């Protein structure tokens, strides 16, 4: 019924409805009655009015897998699933308009097209950036963690970490096991200079998809900016373990170890980095400094 209503008047479109399901028949009884009536009318029309019945069958058969049979638990409702079935609804609506509106049919058609154009223009404004579309989503969709996580992630990507914390906290309140929300919250804390808090989150997260190396690299950079070189070295080591070809992590690991007074370890880190970029002048200079420090016992 939601799909049908949006076909006739596309207002309050939502990018992501989450994973919600009806908890009891009482929540959807009247919608169920209407759908059963439409299904019965389709069966009748297939026998008595095949052209009209074809339109109804088109609607139900295309929509049925994603709405009735396939357990799409990651996204139980999605407006894009209505793109093909809506052709049936609009065909019937257009033919009915031309049959029953008489001499006013063109006036009505122009009014409908104009109204739809305005609604389209307004909706396009929601897509101007990720923050806008996810802000609209959390305002109009049933509350679910994914929408709040994506809004927080958009704020992090836009360089607005302070504003990211509130939606990410809301996401974790709805789903404490949302690893993406935890990860983005850690990135926001890093950007705010709260490296210790971010490190607690990163350490607690399980091994996961590519991207973890980049996060530990940023954690190392944050610790280095704060002058916490042993902690920075630990983060850079984790980065290099996850991504052995990460040149900057190995180079920065050498810098952190040298600053922490661990010259021998710094030499090994610089030499590993040089195997990736043998002619890097800055790295060769830093290696020379580390060897000099090691000779002097520093």
CA distance 79 to 85: 11
pLDDT (tens digit per residue) in 178-224: 989 998 999 999 999 899 999 888 878 776 545 678 888 988 998 99
pLDDT (tens digit per residue) in 70-92: 777 788 889 999 999 999 998 88
pLDDT (tens digit per residue) in 159-185: 999 999 999 999 999 999 998 999 899
Average pLDDT, the chain: 90
- Tokens describing residue 62: 């295309």
Give the confidence band of 298 by pLDDT, cuts at 50, 70, 90.
low
DSSP state of 16: -
> What pLDDT does 249 receive?
95
Residues whose CB falls within 8 Å of the CB of residue 22, separated by 6 or more in sequence, listed in order: 28
> What pLDDT does 182 receive?
93
> What pLDDT does 21 receive?
80
Q: Which residue stretches of 18-144 are H helix?
A: 29-48, 50-64, 86-100, 105-126, 130-140
**What pTM value is reported for the model?**
0.78
Give the confidence band of 45 by pLDDT, cuts at 50, 70, 90.
very high
How far is the CA of 266 from the CAs of 34, 172, 230, in angstroms?
72, 39, 12
Tokens 């998809």 sit at which residue? 209
> How distant is the alpha carbon of residue 145 from its chain centre?
11
pLDDT: which is higher, 147 or 12? 147
Residue 144 has pLDDT above 90, yes or no: yes
- Tokens describing residue 183: 């990860």
CA distance 253 to 265: 9
> What pLDDT does 209 receive?
47
- Which domains can be identified in the chain, with CATH numbers? 2-102 (no CATH), 127-207 (1.25.40.10), 209-298 (1.25.40.10)
From the list 265, 188, 205, 267, the residue with the least C-alpha distance to 230 is 265
């Amino acid at each position: 019924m939601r799909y049908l209503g949006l076909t006739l008047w596309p207002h309050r479109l939502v990018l992501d409805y989450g994973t919600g399901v009806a908890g009891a028949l009482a929540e959807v009884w009247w919608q169920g009655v209407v759908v059963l009536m439409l299904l019965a009318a389709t069966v009748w029309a297939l026998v008595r009015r095949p052209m009209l019945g074809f339109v109804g069958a088109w609607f139900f058969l295309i929509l049925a897998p994603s709405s009735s049979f396939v357990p799409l638990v990651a996204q139980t409702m999605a407006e894009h699933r209505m793109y093909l079935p809506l052709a049936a609804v609009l065909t019937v609506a257009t033919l009915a308009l031309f049959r029953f509106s008489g001499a006013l049919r063109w006036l009505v058609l122009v009014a409908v097209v104009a109204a739809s154009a305005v609604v389209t223009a307004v909706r396009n404004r929601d897509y101007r950036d990720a923050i806008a579309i996810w802000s609209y989503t959390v305002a109009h969709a049933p509350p679910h963690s994914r929408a709040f996580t994506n809004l927080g992630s958009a704020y992090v990507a836009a360089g607005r970490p302070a504003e990211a914390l509130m939606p990410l906290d809301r996401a974790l309140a709805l789903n404490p096991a949302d690893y993406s929300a935890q990860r983005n919250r850690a990135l926001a804390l890093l950007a705010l200079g709260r490296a210790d808090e971010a490190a607690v989150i990163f350490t607690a997260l399980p091994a996961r998809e590519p991207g973890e190396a980049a996060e530990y690299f940023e954690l190392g950079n944050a610790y280095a900016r704060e002058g916490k070189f042993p902690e920075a070295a630990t983060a850079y080591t984790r980065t290099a373990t996850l991504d052995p070809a990460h040149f900057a992590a190995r180079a920065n690991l050498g810098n952190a170890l040298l600053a922490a007074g661990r010259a021998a370890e710094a030499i090994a880190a610089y030499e590993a980095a040089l195997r990736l970029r043998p002619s890097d002048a800055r790295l060769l200079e830093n290696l020379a400094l580390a060897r000099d420090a090691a000779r002097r016992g520093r």
